[in-house]
Amino acid sequence: MSSPPTPGLRLAELAERTGATLSGDGEVRIAGVATLERAGAGTIAFLANPRYRPQLATTRAGAVIVAPTDAAATPLPKLIAANPYALFAKVATILHPRRVEDAGVHATAIVDSSARIASTASIGAFAVVGAGAVVGARAVVGSHCVVGAEAELGDDVFLHPQVVLYARTIVGARTLIHSGAVIGADGFGMAEEAGRWLKIPQIGRAVIGADCEIGASTTIDRGAIDDTVIEDDVKLDNQIQIGHNCVIGAHTAIAGCVGIAGSTRIGRSCRIGGAAMISGHLEIPDGTVISGSTGVYDSIRTPGVYTSAFPALPHREWRRVMSELRRLRDLAERVKKLEQNAKSADDDRT
């Protein structure tokens, strides 16, 4: 069990700052968050998934976050909200704020004389900032990052170590980019001639909106002619590939290992599960949900939940199912012939 050493904040203050409803002793001091199972004095736990409801009776948390329907299930001091998981996110952000980096340029950083660096920005050790680049107020460029020529970072952008932004990449305010991400690399643009490939210059940009998060080792290619655009509040998990000229609508969330081929337009507030593969030059409307491992090969016209992955089966059962599937084509041909024969018989009778 965790037992934070700091006095923390009063539960009543957390309620006031998050807009939650307070029930119970508001003077309880909370210094950190924890799970119901591992919480101890001085921590606050949350219940969002009904499967963990029995743990409310045994948790040693100092307070809990619950929905109104679960408020009577525990005598502990509590914060109540219709969306306890969102409330947990707010509380955790208050109790565990991101470390504030010291402003200034590290002695080992290489910053071009024409770059414009805000006085409150932080440039880490061995970072490189190219000619004409702009780094906004309170932005953080971690160690070993590369900010290419004429790239622009908005206020409060945070680049973890070893992020690479190619030339002319734009990153909006408050966006967070994790280590190993590469933004603005060449798209995979090739033309074939006489059995050989001719590289097509990629002259567009990668434009990232405000309040986005880009996971570790995710890659976003710049546009071939027009820009690749990631709109505001898009959340990208680790190891995602986004091809050139894609547009990802605001508030969309994409899980790890998704591949999105070039010139795909994904709407606002979509959710895409891990390892989904999306072909290029297609459109997906606002509010669409794509399940993990789903392959999308044509445009989707109507919002909804789309799934194409084959569920896992015991190997012997899978072989039997696949054997039946392989016979479907023969079965379809036999049915077609039967229908044709039946139609011919009907014609003869008439």
- Please state the pTM of the whole predicted model: 0.90
- pLDDT interval class at 345 (50, 70, 90): confident
91 beta partners: none
CB 63 within 8 A of CB 76: yes
Q: In the chain, what's the furthest Cα-to-Cα distance?
A: 96
Residue 184 and residue 259: Cα distance in Å, rounded? Answer: 16
Q: Tokens 């990802």 — which residue?
A: 248
Read off φ and ψ for residue 207, nearest 5 degrees: -120, 115
CB 79 within 8 A of CB 41: no
Q: Which whole number is the average pLDDT over 290-308?
A: 97
Q: Are strands 196-199 and 190-193 parallel, antiparallel or unpaired?
A: antiparallel
pLDDT at 60: 97
Residue 5 reports pLDDT greater than 80:
no
To the nearest 10 degrees (0 to 180), the angle between helices 328-349 and 315-326 is 30
Residue-wise pLDDT tens digits, 87-133: 999 999 999 998 889 999 999 999 999 999 999 999 999 999 999 99
HEC string of the chain equals CCCCCCCCEEHHHHHHHHCCEEECCCCCEECEECCCCCCCCCEEEECCCHHHHHHHHCCCCCEEEECHHHHHHCCCCEEECCCHHHHHHHHHHHHCCCCCCCCEECCCCEECCCCEECCCCEECCCCEECCCCEECCCCEECCCCEECCCCEECCCCEECCCCEECCCCEECCCCEECCCCEEEECCCCEEEECCEEEECCCCCCEEECCCCEECCCCEEECCCCCCEEECCCCEECCCCEECCCCEECCCCEECCCCEECCCCEECCCCEECCCCEECCCCEECCCCEECCCCEECCCCCCCCEECCCCCCCCHHHHHHHHHHHHCHHHHHHHHHHHHHHHHHHHHHHC
pLDDT at 310: 82
CATH of 104-306, one of 2.160.10.10, 3.40.50.300, 3.40.50.720, 3.40.109.10: 2.160.10.10
Residue-wise pLDDT tens digits, 70-98: 999 999 999 999 999 999 999 999 999 98
| 244 tagged catalytic | yes
Residue 290 and residue 316: Cα distance in Å, rounded? Answer: 29
Residue 4 reports pLDDT greater than 50:
no
pLDDT at 67: 97
Residue 169 reports pLDDT greater than 80:
yes
Residue 52 and residue 128: Cα distance in Å, rounded? Answer: 47
Residue 158 reports pLDDT greater than 80:
yes
Q: Which residues lie closer than 8 Å to 61 by C-beta, 6 or more apart?
A: 34, 36, 39, 40, 43, 44, 45, 76
Q: Which of 154, 143, 183, 141 is nearest to 166 (CA)?
A: 183
pLDDT at 110: 98
- pLDDT interval class at 223 (50, 70, 90): very high
CB 185 within 8 A of CB 222: yes
pLDDT at 184: 98
Residue 300 reports pLDDT greater than 50:
yes
Q: Which whole number is the average pLDDT over 271-293?
A: 98
Residue 2 reports pLDDT greater than 60:
no
Q: Which whole number is the average pLDDT over 244-261?
A: 98
pLDDT at 350: 67
Average pLDDT, the chain: 95
Higher pLDDT, 10 or 340: 10
Residue 333 reports pLDDT greater than 50:
yes
pLDDT at 3: 46
Residue 340 reports pLDDT greater than 80:
yes
Residue 238 reports pLDDT greater than 50:
yes
Chain centroid to Cα 335, Å, comes to 46
pLDDT at 220: 98
Residue-wise pLDDT tens digits, 44-72: 999 999 999 999 999 999 999 999 999 99
- 244, 251, 281, 315: the catalytic one is 244
CATH superfamily of domain region 9-95: MurE/MurF, N-terminal domain (3.40.1390.10)
Residue-wise pLDDT tens digits, 278-287: 999 999 999 9
Q: Tokens 């953080």 — which residue?
A: 140
Residue 6 reports pLDDT greater than 80:
no
